[in-house]
Amino acid sequence: MQLLEAQSVTKVFGSGVLSKDRLVAVDEVSLTINEEKPSIISIAGESGSGKTTLARLLLGMIQPSDGNIRFRGKDLATMDRSERREFRRQVQAIFQDPFEVYNPFYRIDQVLTTPVRKFKLAGSKEEEQRLIEESLQLAGLRPNETLGRYPHQLSGGQRQRIMVARALLLNPRVILADEPVSMVDASLRATILESLMKLKRDLGISLIYITHDLTTAYQISKDIYILYRGSVAEVGSVEQVIKDPQHPYTKLLVNSIPLPDPDIRWGSQNDVDQAPLTSGLKSAHGHGCKFANRCPFVMAECHEKQPPLYRTHEDRAVACFLYKNEPSVGGREMAESLAA
């Protein structure tokens, strides 16, 4: 059974079809997590790519303009109270800033006892304490070094791991992590990513990892979705997409990673060295490939219609007319095939 699905979801901000303020933040994106096959999926893109909007859609925080989000086959929009409550418990989120989520006047404990009480997870004080200590340990923290403290007494890495512990308390099936390590120091980054990986390996929890950092995405995930201005530019296994990118935009992204090796020079990874920047988020006209005005390989048809996904490999599809000789594939079909 499919655990969590985005079925051709679109989110438009602003109103009116021809309004100048209309912004298509997410444009017909499909994504699937299979209940039987826990997996780590990365959603990568730059600011304005729609990755955070997609995350908010998946969490049910905002409603799609078109398409739907399904949890165990049920559309979030038609869920009743108890179904929604179950969804809220099974799908947890970890956000970017490990500083902002805490109230500085409360001890750390409060962040952990609130969900226990809200979802009535424990019958007694002792059970509550036991649950909290267990989840802290799963997140790689020592309870005696964290409980009873105030947020400012803990490091950024510890604070972020407490958010992992909080998510774990509810025994979720999916954790959605939006840039969980971008504000954490390098030496702690590895530790947090490792604890997220362990959740999948040891507890079978799937992870949706939202990031702009292709290196960590490569490190932890099986599949990756590259978003460009709301659309999937390229999707597939990380081995395919990051090690051998095909979409000109993915090539540009991979080529811009500052690799920690002075012998691999910036921009020497592939044939898309640089692309001009465009101003604003909207293209001059609504149709055509969104990357066309920056693409070094642009062709006439790129300005006429949006390219569909072409399946260039069993584990990969690319939305680019350069690959039009390959069979085209629907976004949903591709997502389901990767999740299977």
Partner 1 sequence: MLSNVKTKPVDVRTKTRADRILDVRNLRVSYQTGGGQVRAVNDVSFFLRPSERLGLVGESGSGKTTMALSLMRLLQSPAVIEGGQVLLDGVDLLSLSEEEMRRARLADIALIPQGAMNSLNPMLKVGEQLRDAVTAHMDSGGKTSREARIFDVLESVELSRNVVNAYPHELSGGMKQRVCIAMGILLKPKVIIADEPTSALDVVVQRQVMETLGRVQSELGASIILVGHDMGLMAQFVDRVGVMYGGKLVEVSPVREIFKDPLHPYTQLLIGSLPTLESKENFKGISGMTPSLLTPPTGCMFHPRCPQVLPHCQVEIPPLVEIKPDRWVACHLYNGS
The residues binding partner 1 (CB under 8 A) are 46-47, 155-156, 158, 185-194, 197, 212, 214-216, 218-220, 238, 242-243, 252-253, 256-263, 265-267, 274-275, 277, 279
CB of 307 to partner 1, least distance (A): 20
Identify which of 298, 303, 300, 309 has the alpha carbon closest to the alpha carbon of residue 288: 303
Q: 265: how many CB neighbours lie within 10 A of its CB?
A: 9
Round to whole Å and give the CA distance between 127 and 96: 30
CB of 291 to partner 1, least distance (A): 12
CB of 215 to partner 1, least distance (A): 5
Q: 247: how many CB neighbours lie within 10 A of its CB?
A: 28
CB of 298 to partner 1, least distance (A): 17
Residue closer to partner 1, measured from CB, 176 or 193:
193
Residue closer to partner 1, measured from CB, 79 or 281:
281
Q: How far apart are the first and last CA of the chain?
A: 10
Residue closer to partner 1, measured from CB, 79 or 257:
257
Residue closer to partner 1, measured from CB, 232 or 253:
253
Identify the DSSP state of 229: T
Q: What are phi and psi of 71, to 5 degrees?
A: -120, 120
CB of 323 to partner 1, least distance (A): 22
Residue closer to partner 1, measured from CB, 85 or 266:
266
Q: 85: how many CB neighbours lie within 10 A of its CB?
A: 13
CB of 229 to partner 1, least distance (A): 12
Return the SS3 of 224: strand
Sign of torsion over alpha carbons 112, 113, 116, 118: negative
Residue closer to partner 1, measured from CB, 6 or 25:
25
Identify the DSSP state of 43: E
CB of 124 to partner 1, least distance (A): 33
Block residue for tokens 């950092």: 213
CB of 206 to partner 1, least distance (A): 16
Question: Are residues 234 and 317 in contact, defined by beta-carbon separation less than 8 angstroms?
Answer: yes
Identify the DSSP state of 152: G
Residue closer to partner 1, measured from CB, 79 or 147:
147
Q: What are phi and psi of 34, to 5 degrees?
A: -90, 130
Residue closer to partner 1, measured from CB, 47 or 82:
47
Q: Which residues of 108-134 are buried (b: 16+ CB within 10 A; e: fewer)?
A: bbebbbebbeeeebbeeeeebbebbbe
